[in-house]
Amino acid sequence: MSLKMEDTVKNRTCPKRPFTCYVEKPSAKDYLLTVFIFAVCTLIGLLFQKLDLTDTNIVTIYILGVLITSIVTDGYLCSVAGSFLSVFLFCFFLMEPRMSFKTYAVGYPVTFFIMLISSVLTGTLAAKLKMHAKLSSQLAFRTQVLFDTDRLLQKAKSETEILGVTCTQLIRLLNRSITAYVVENGTLSEGKLFSGEKESTENFLTQEEQQAARWTYENRQRAGASTQYFSQAKCLYLAIRSGNNVYGVIGIPMQKETLDSFEYGILLSVINECALAMENVQNAIEKERNAVLAKNEQLRGDLLRAISHDLRTPLCSISGNADMLLSNSDRLDEATRYQIYTDIHDDSEWLIGVVENLLSITRLNDGRLKFKFTDQLLDEVIAESLRHISRKHDAYKIVADCEELVLTRMDVHLIIQVLVNLIDNAIKYTPSGSVISIRGVKKAGKAQVSVEDNGPGIPDEMKPHIFEMFYTGKTTVADSQRSLGLGLALCRSIIEAHDGTLVLSDHAPHGCNFTFTLPLSEVTLNE
């Protein structure tokens, strides 16, 4: 994706200065160094004359002075000026007659000209090599900043963290304070100052500065210092922008020196990286939001399909049996009428259980289910749950075995609902005559309850999904009805709300074993 900043090469903040990189205005310090170097060279030349050394050695000293000048000063001007100064000093102080630009030697003008050309070429080449080294250092620094920025932005997880990384890197690059604004809920937040100095007394968050930043956000254009919009502002404001989306605004103080083309280019690169990182965060948030919506739609669709398909069978059975009683009640014998009444009652009980599970799991997920924890004896709770089992348990052998005086902390109504669901689940998926055992013991400082059966068991490929909502597998219950797949999911949620666990294991030699734990209650005896 190409990131389009509002600034192009033609509209850069700094004016184009192609010669600036090679010709820099010397400072007063550079001029003083140049004069001092050639003064020393002249003194050394006078010393060489006292020692009767040739003029060639003296010329070499001046060329060496030109090289030293090009190294210790900035740009070309001082080295070129030093070349002319060396010829002037050599002619004025070291040629006969001294203190004059006249000379008795015929060939000295040629010597002066060659000395000047050599000095200019030497100084120019030395300054150029120095400038190339400086540009190479700048390029390496720029590459390192961009690499570090990319690496740090990849680790950032939020827009605020991304903005902090970006401002830190810009401080490292520009060595000046940075102001930053992030877009929150469609509006520009209050600005934040990232100081690049130990003590920053400048106020870059005034109302005028914030207006310039807000204008940049609303118009997607740069504003502030060195621009035609809010030119009196202290900072230059650039939008953190990707396409038509603006994620924030960066403010660069411009009261010091203006940005050159090198600094401005890397500034745009860092802001582009920031915009890309913020776009990725927004895409991740949107993707997660869409995933949640898709999951909710899937659950809603599963619920509607389950209700429309699985509730229709018992409702049709109730309706048909009731119609038969209304139309042919006098023609039916007592046994047939009793069977019809029984079928209506069983189907009604099944519907009541489904509705109860639906209400409970909906309230639990919405946080509206209120828990009423009390201390209860485990054996009494198990006995109470058996009284809520459907009539069909008469065809099964249900055995309850519980240790005495196991006092647990629980919401008794919800735990009875868990036991009823687990026992009904065993009845539905095991053949008539199967043995279902309910055991309660103390183990590892908790109360442990298990519901075992000796039915066909659950296939291994179904076990990882058995506690998922609306998961029913491919198993058909004995009465050809399909479960909604809510019971086990509800059981696990209720047990976890009691700080317990519900697990499934195999029962030897065959069958299932659902085991859950509950916290024990402490009993204080007062003598």
Are the CB atoms for 254 and 237 separated by under 8 Å?
A: no
CA distance 40 to 65: 9
Are the CB atoms for 461 and 481 separated by under 8 Å?
A: no
Cβ within 8 Å of residue 121, ≥6 positions away: none
Tokens, residue 39: 């003064």
CA distance 265 to 149: 15
> What 3-state class would DSSP assign to 99?
coil
Ordered per-residue pLDDT tens for the chain, 527 residues: 333 444 443 343 443 333 334 456 777 888 888 888 888 888 888 888 888 888 778 878 877 887 788 778 776 677 777 777 777 787 777 777 777 666 555 556 666 677 677 767 777 777 778 778 777 877 787 777 777 777 887 787 777 888 888 888 888 777 788 888 888 777 888 878 887 654 454 678 888 888 888 888 888 888 888 888 888 888 888 888 887 888 888 888 886 667 777 777 778 888 888 888 888 888 888 888 888 888 777 766 766 666 665 677 778 888 888 888 888 888 888 888 888 888 888 788 778 877 776 777 677 766 667 788 899 999 999 998 888 776 557 788 889 999 888 899 998 888 988 898 898 888 888 888 889 999 999 988 899 999 999 888 888 888 887 877 666 655 444 444 445 556 788 788 889 888 999 999 988 888 899 999 999 987 544 44
Q: What's residue 102's pLDDT?
A: 66
Identify residue 5 by its one-letter amino acid code. M
CATH 3.40.50.720 is the classification of domain 374-519: no
Q: What's residue 330's pLDDT?
A: 81
Q: What's residue 12's pLDDT?
A: 39
Tell me, rounded to whole angstroms, the distance of Cα 77 from its chain centroid: 52
CA distance 392 to 321: 19
Residues carrying CATH 3.30.450.40, the chain: 156-284
CA distance 161 to 297: 33
Report the DSSP pairing between strands 446-453 and 374-377: unpaired
For the chain, the first-to-last Cα distance in angstroms comes to: 80
Whether the bond into 253 is cis, omega within 30 of 0? no
Radius of gyration of the CA atoms of the chain, in A: 45
255 CB neighbour count, 10 Å cutoff: 11
Residues carrying CATH 3.30.565.10, the chain: 374-519
Cβ within 8 Å of residue 340, ≥6 positions away: 321, 324, 325, 332
Q: What's residue 513's pLDDT?
A: 92
pTM: 0.46
Compute the mean pLDDT over every residue in the chain, rounded to the nearest whole number. Answer: 77
- Nearest Cα to Cα of residue 214 among 179, 244, 243, 242: 179
CATH fold label, 156-284: Beta-Lactamase (3.30.450)
Are the CB atoms for 29 and 75 separated by under 8 Å?
A: no
Given the structure tokens 């109360």, which residue do they identify? 447
Tokens, residue 206: 């005034």
Q: What's residue 515's pLDDT?
A: 94
Dihedral sign of CA atoms 59, 64, 65, 66 in order: positive
